[in-house]
Amino acid sequence: MFCVMNCNPANFAELYSAILGWLFNSSAAEQGNVWFGKFMPVVREMSETHYNFFLDEMILIHNEQRVAVLEKRGCRPRMVPLEELRLPRQGGDGSL
């Protein structure tokens, strides 16, 4: 029931454009789901906090390894610094 309510892309208007069609890469999403599925035996009994921490660390390690492989091939991957991802803080009146 959770997936029906939360994982159906048709429920999210921002993922579809009448002109362009679907605005996400479903193949990449499927590959991500397969990759996450490999951790199911490990995370099955974890609490939500441990589960989130574990997968966050696995994603971080995976991304670092992918960057190393790409750099070795002569590519120039870029890891975005955390500061660039943070939204600016707003004051109580909505100002930046």
pLDDT in tens, 3-24: 777 778 788 888 888 888 888 7
Query: Please, what's the b/e burial string for 18-39 (b: 16 or more CB within 10 A of its CB; e: otherwise)?
Result: eeeeeeeeeeeeeeeeeeeeee
What ranges do the domains of the chain cover? 37-76
Predicted TM-score (pTM) of the model is: 0.57
CA atoms 51, 54, 56, 62: torsion sign: negative
H-only helix segments in 1-96: 2-6, 26-37, 40-43, 48-72, 82-85
Residue, of 8 and 52, whose pLDDT is higher: 52
